[in-house]
Amino acid sequence: GQQVMQIPQYQHVQEGEDFTTYCNSSTTLSNIQWYKQRPGGHPVFLIQLVKSGEVKKQKRLTFQFGEAKKNSSLHITATQTTDVGTYFCAGPRGGSYIPTFGRGTSLIVHP
Amino acid sequence: DAGVIQSPRHEVTEMGQEVTLRCKPISGHNSLFWYRQTMMRGLELLIYFNNNVPIDDSGMPEDRFSAKMPNASFSTLKIQPSEPRDSAVYFCASSLTGQGGEKLFFGSGTQLSVL
């Protein structure tokens, strides 16, 4: 079935450095969502991308959806300790609307 | 709005015991999801309800797991008998219509430990 793959699994950065996580699908996605889960917390919705080549920004976070709608990325500029957590992408499963989550990228920010 | 409410927050039980996890979705949301999160397998969908009807239960591990949604404001996930490998965080999530392109709202989860 359709799977959403995320890399890297973990990323250590020094505070102030940039961070990027990548999400890839074997099939074309109608949309892709991004969630953030703080340690000990629950996933919280960040954003949804729908259009081919779409780019959206939320302060220091930049989200991109590939032209072929098979990949996406999340880039954080100048990381802060508050950015610590696991970032998940989620795409619809097969022909349904059910979100299938990637394994997530855990961001560790060293002060 | 109180958000998605799950109970209990933590559950510790012994192998072979029955475990029941509870979820109250956001009022007005028609879709409800149960996910399980482990280090090994990540966030897995167990079952999805729309308008209280189970639509996709292909993620339910085996017959020991069952889920019900008797009304729009309540769902349960039951494990009987429980096994140590069931230890995980179980999340309930809801969305408005389940028709796609909607964000999921997650509850705080139930941390289950089966000894």
Q: Could you tell me what percentage of chain A is helix, strand and coil, using 3-state DSSP and rounding each to the nearest 5?
A: 5, 55, 45
Q: Residue type for A76, please?
A: I
- The model's pLDDT over B20-51, given as tens digits with 9 standing for 90+, comes to 999 999 999 999 999 999 998 899 999 999 99
pLDDT in tens, B62-100: 899 999 999 999 999 999 999 999 999 999 999 998 776
Cβ contacts (< 8 Å) between B42 and chain A: which residues?
Answer: 101-104
pLDDT top residue among A2 and A52: A52
Please, are residues B79 and B92 in contact by the beta-carbon 8 Å criterion?
no
Of A33-42, A93-102, B105-114, the poorest mean pLDDT is in: A93-102
Determine the pLDDT at residue B115: 96
Q: Supply angle C-alpha A98, A99, A102, rounded to 5.
A: 145
pLDDT for B46: 96
- CB neighbour class for B106 (10 Å; exposed up to 12, middle 13-18, buried from 19): buried
Residue with tokens 């960040």: A46
pLDDT band at B1 (very low <50, low <70, confident <90, very high): low
pLDDT of residue B2: 81
Contact A102 B100 (CB under 8 A): no
Which pLDDT does position B85 carry in this prediction?
95
Chain A residues with CB within 8 Å of chain B CB? 30-31, 33, 35, 41-45, 48, 50, 88, 90, 92-93, 96-104
Q: How far is CA B50 from CA A91, B65, B77, B93, in A?
A: 18, 19, 16, 12
- Give me the pLDDT at residue A2, please: 53
